Amino acid sequence: MWRPDEQAKVKAFLRLVARELADEAVAFAGVDDRGEFVRVEFYKGGGLAWAVEARLIRDESGNIVEVEPRERAGVVENQWKFEVLNSHFYNSPSAVAKRLTGLEVLSRLPEREVEWARRVFNMFFSECPLTLQLYGFFDRGTGEYVITRPDTPSPWINYIGQGGYGGFVSNTGGGYSFDRDARSRRVTRYRYNSVPDDQPGHYIYLRDEDTGEFWSPTWQPVKRELDWYECRHGPGYTRISSLYKGVRSSILYFAPPNPPHPDCPVELHVLELRNESDRPRRLKVWTYEELSYWDATADQTNLDWAQQIVFSYVKDGIIVAGVHFRPTRTFFASSEPPDGYDTDRETFIGPGGDLSKPQVVVVGSPAFSLASRGNNIASLSHRVELKPGEAKTIVYILGITDRPELIPETVNYYRSLENVWRSFEDLKKDWSQFLGKLRVETPDEELNAMINYWNAVQCRACLYWSRFVSYYYTGLARGIGTRDTAQDTLGVVHAEPQQVRRVLRTLWGLQFKDGRTWHLVFPLTGEGSMGHAVEMPWRPQWFSDDHLWLVYATCNYVKETGDFSFLEEVVPYQDDKSGASVWEHILRAIDYTLRKRGPHGLPLIGFADWDDTLNLDHGSETAESVWTGMLLCRVLLELAELCRARGDAEGAERFEKLHREMAEVINRVAWDGEWYLRAFDDKGRPVGAKGEKYHWVSLITQAWAAIAELDDPEREKMALLSAVKHLGTPLGLRLMRDPINSKKSGPDEVDYESLDRFGGTATYPPGLKENGGIFNHANAWAIIAAAKLGLAEVAYRIYRQTLPLARRDFDTMKAEPYVYSQNTAAPEHPMYGLSRNSWLTGTASWMYVAVTQWILGVRPCYKGLKIAPCIPEDWSGFRMTRVFRGVTYHIDVKRVGRGNKVRSIRVEGRAIEGDIVPLPPEGVTSVRVEVELGE
Ligand code: GLC
């Protein structure tokens, strides 16, 4: 058993760590029944924040000689006896805010305990199953990600809104809002890539009238050090709370899902103030919203015009901003009558001032300025007097409409707190319904946190905002991506089939009669484009994959829902508004790729394939993509399966034959001995071939070989293992090797030859993005391939390596740990480990699919739910609750032996043949499934 002297050491050490890392925490430590393991747990905000287990290895006399991170097996069965080490640690936020390194903790321990503690410490930092709270942690009780200090390495954002009115909010209140389209219907401004960063936002200033001191409860923009700070990002809402000299404040940001009138959407900022000091407080409160002209491009580029046409007025406490020539109005109001306002930015800020010390706040009284041109803001001022213990709530209402007559009614509605809280409940209900469609319980707590909350939240954000609006996407340049949105549907179709149907309809409407589609579209105007290709008119003006992704996503939708009627729906073409059925659209898409084939019989690459930067064609239309051939193979198999499900054997055979033919071509011309080539350039030279200087092995063709089912399992396996061998890093697989320019003679060498040969890839530095970076999106495909090939440990290892919630190196990673980033810098780059372009990435939906359908192996198919797990050997099993075609399946998988062979499946207690759980009889809405796994 755990000896008392050992216990004392653990306690001493934990106290130190806890005091530094948590502002309020309860720590437990325990030893298991057999005295072999120690486990320590930290609770914060009502939930387990993190825990770690270790095996105690003793010498013959029973002294601990080693502390080893505990293996995962058996966690569930063991009985733990816990004792409270120290309740409610409380320390000053300035200490929390201080950056802490392991060495600092160790340096405070008595010398003789350092070595022992170092081992425990290393264990915490490398093995603890939930994020250590240097900047924040996942709250298992609420599902929120809690950020405990404002100065995160980059703004850690969240989205509000349900795809209509919305925007993003950072952990310090930065961000902006718009209605549906950030370019064409902008509400507020945001200055990207500026100093200071992440401004402006939805700001509040508080001022103590007795001392004249002022601060921002969200830290920005005043940046006065707060006595306590916490940001809780939840699905569809963010709450930022803080304490400053006895004044506690909390601001809840969300967009109500059902405003009283759909033509007048709003967002709400609910400010709650509480006097926690023992003296009466006289406070002043100001808001700051910097309003944009609705056309955000003109707002930033045509200053001479945009700055002359805008004006604002105030009526009944409502600030309204607009122009003379159309009725579009932005408005801002509060639940409490204001005692003043400002709508002119320059007056509010004052000469030479900035957002950290606006003149109005410094002076302490509103200037009642009205912008009659220039820069419009919405600043309302309130006086709040609070006795000790007293609290006050003010609701702020920000919105946009083309029907100004709806503004008073909408504002009045949200002036009632009852309506506000009801709206918030509606929002929470909507999200919990969405998240409730698929829940998992596995031995991996971080996997559970991602699948049950943040990965799913991110999938929905991608569906709503595609690659349009984020901290990285400015909302001006690119609109909704066809291939991106098609892939985004994969992660949400089980939860929002109707929404996906609508999205697919819109995407099919981007197709031309010849079969190709627009690459991008602006959602509000319907204006399509070929994106980046337009800048290089000499290159092919089409992408080889956009239209195929639409076929893939459509088959996936029908498989999930059984809604074959969608295939009959008539959808217009871009160049023929009378349109045709979705099925006809599908056939045209396939024919386009079959028509556009090159010298080796592979699909032409066009401007690019999935990799936007692989621009191999200079206009001759001869460069070919091996990967597009693989995508085509997958899509053909999906179509064959769809035909069979519809009873169309002839159609199925046709697609199967086409699949065999393309697989044969790929195997004949693109096998390079140990892996598959990536492409052929327009001089017929292979890309991704052994012996090349740059780009001699590529990830995506190795992953897709298995996904495409090239009829050669040996090669498929060898290809994937080659990728793992040559492209692996501790943070996931690189997209290719060697990166272009990684062998330059010096910084001034310009490699025109590679630039000409590879196009966009060569513009990135070695190890970043598509130039050999760790591209997370493609890692999800590698996981799927590994699971398809039965390589459970490989699949799980790649999953863990790329899991943001498992990262501890926040200062290196910089991006949010609760969502996937598109890419992480590879070891070839000096900033190895830096993750960029978080939130809006195909990684979200593909990782979600990789885990739920391939590692956990619960896959929709036409006849029912297939159960084919591919889980690590040391997992004892898992549970999943999943809605499929209106039926809730409660699936309990238990490992009874080694390997991942499904030994038996019982449905409602009765054994079934095969591994497909059929749909239950009409009227049955819940089905219990027990699965035994292993030989
Ligand atoms: C980005 C783009 C996506 C593309 C990928 C690879 O994620 O949004 O469309 O497929 O990069 O280039």
Angle, CA 700 vertex, CA 501 and CA 745 arms, to 5°: 135
Distance 478 CA to ligand 1 centre (A): 12
Pocket test for ligand 1, best of 473, 532, 543, 612 (most atoms within 8 A of CB): 612
Backbone Cα Rg of the chain: 29
Ligand 1 contacts CB of residue 152 (under 6 A): no
Ligand 1 atom closest to 770 (CA)? 12
Pocket test for ligand 1, best of 480, 777, 845 (most atoms within 8 A of CB): 777
Ligand 1 atom closest to 822 (CA)? 7
The stretches in the chain having pLDDT less than 70 are 1-57, 62-134, 808
Interatomic CA distance for residues 848 and 864, integer angstroms: 20
What pLDDT sits at residue 7?
A: 56
Ligand 1 contacts CB of residue 144 (under 6 A): no
Pocket test for ligand 1, best of 484, 517, 613, 781 (most atoms within 8 A of CB): 484
Q: Could you give the 3-state DSSP secondary structure of residue 689?
A: coil
Residue 915 annotated in active site: no
Ligand 1 contacts CB of residue 467 (under 6 A): yes
Q: For residues 775 and 742, is the Cβ–Cβ distance under 8 A?
A: no
Distance 249 CA to ligand 1 centre (A): 41
Catalytic residue chosen out of the listed positions 444, 545, 612, 672: 612
Nearest CA among 734, 514, 549 for reference residue 628: 549
Ligand 1 contacts CB of residue 759 (under 6 A): no
Long-range CB pairs of 12-18 (<8 Å, 24+ gap) are: 12/109, 12/113, 13/109, 13/113, 13/117, 13/120, 13/121, 14/40, 14/85, 14/86, 15/85, 15/86, 15/89, 16/105, 16/108, 16/109, 17/105, 17/121, 17/124, 18/42, 18/85, 18/86, 18/89
Ligand 1 contacts CB of residue 483 (under 6 A): yes
Interatomic CA distance for residues 172 and 223, integer angstroms: 9
Ligand 1 atom closest to 777 (CA)? 7
Please state whether the predicted TM-score (pTM) of the whole model is above 0.75.
Answer: yes
What pLDDT sits at residue 39?
A: 61
Ligand 1 contacts CB of residue 478 (under 6 A): no
Ligand 1 atom closest to 842 (CA)? 7
DSSP annotation of 750 = -
What residue type is 283 in one-letter code?
L
Ligand 1 contacts CB of residue 770 (under 6 A): yes
Ligand 1 contacts CB of residue 611 (under 6 A): yes
Ligand 1 contacts CB of residue 612 (under 6 A): yes
Annotate 357-395 with DSSP letters as a single string: S-HHHHHTS------SSS-EEEEEEEEEEE-TT-EEEEE
How does pLDDT run across 431-449, given as a tens digit for each residue? 999 999 999 999 998 999 9
What pLDDT sits at residue 96?
A: 26
Annotate 319-345 with DSSP letters as a single string: EEEE-SSS--EEEEEESSPPSEEEEEH
What pLDDT sits at residue 525?
A: 86
The tokens describing 92, both together, are 């000053």
Ligand 1 contacts CB of residue 610 (under 6 A): yes
Interatomic CA distance for residues 680 and 170, integer angstroms: 44
Q: What is the bridge-based pairing of β-strands 887-895 and 926-933?
A: parallel
Distance 769 CA to ligand 1 centre (A): 10
Ligand 1 atom closest to 610 (CA)? 10
What pLDDT sits at residue 128?
A: 36
107: number of Cβ within 10 Å: 10
Residue 307, CA distances (Å) to 275, 331, 373, 468, 660 in order: 41, 18, 6, 25, 62
Distance 610 CA to ligand 1 centre (A): 6
Ligand 1 atom closest to 614 (CA)? 12
How does pLDDT run across 132-152, given as a tens digit for each residue? 335 887 887 899 999 988 999
